[in-house]
Amino acid sequence: MDLVRNEKVIHIALPDEEKYERKNQKVIDEVRYYVDKYPRVELLSIGTEKKVSEWNQEYGVPEADGFDPQNSNGWGNYDGCKASIVISDEKYKNICIWGVKRGSLLYKTGRYTNDVQGIKRFRNGLYIETLLAHEFMHAIDSAYQIYENSWIIDEYEKHAHEFEDIHEFIAECYTASEFIEGNKYADKIRVMIDEIIENNN
């Protein structure tokens, strides 16, 4: 199916079995939320590995390379403002809908050794909402070039050993700030992300 937002067409390539109906609707709702909130991001397509591949073949779109579906929850092609997001078939089959409101979960300081540990709990994409937030943040990062901000770079370098690279650092901090209230470090990074976006809209 195609979804039109901001006068742009987004191709949605998800399994059509009835058992995925509720999950598919959640993906569509999340897509609407993010593309409306971040208009610079031009999302071309989003879907599961097999469905996106079928669509790419039908329309002659080159396949993304460099990704291992066995070791990835989701991945994307991010080229400036243009983005395509793919969720591994196995992950989509097993992933749950969380159903929590953004910012509704309180961060408990004593539960983790520090705020960075609290951020890292989201890296495995346990829920469809957190997986999509993470992948959309990669698209936002590319579109607004957040990874080039000197303050963001300085903060990343303080914790570089905790994260795969600066892009993962940005995406994981953003995802934690979306759903957890009170993680002071994630919130600090999010304030700067929002400021960069506001200054470049």
In the prediction, which pLDDT does 116 show? 80
In the prediction, which pLDDT does 107 show? 52
**CA-CA distance, 121 to 26, in Å (whole number)?**
22
Q: Which residues of the chain have pLDDT under 70?
A: 6, 55-76, 101-114, 121-125
In the prediction, which pLDDT does 70 show? 47
> DSSP of 94-145, one letter per residue?
HPBP--PPTT-EEP-GGGSSSHHHHHHTTTT--BHHHHHHHHHHHHHHHHHT
**CA-CA distance, 57 to 33, in Å (whole number)?**
28
pTM of the predicted model, to two decimals? Answer: 0.84
Of residues 63, 47, 49, the one with CA closest to residue 13: 47
In the prediction, which pLDDT does 113 show? 45
In the prediction, which pLDDT does 79 show? 75
Q: 3-class SS at 184?
A: helix
In the prediction, which pLDDT does 74 show? 65
In the prediction, which pLDDT does 183 show? 83
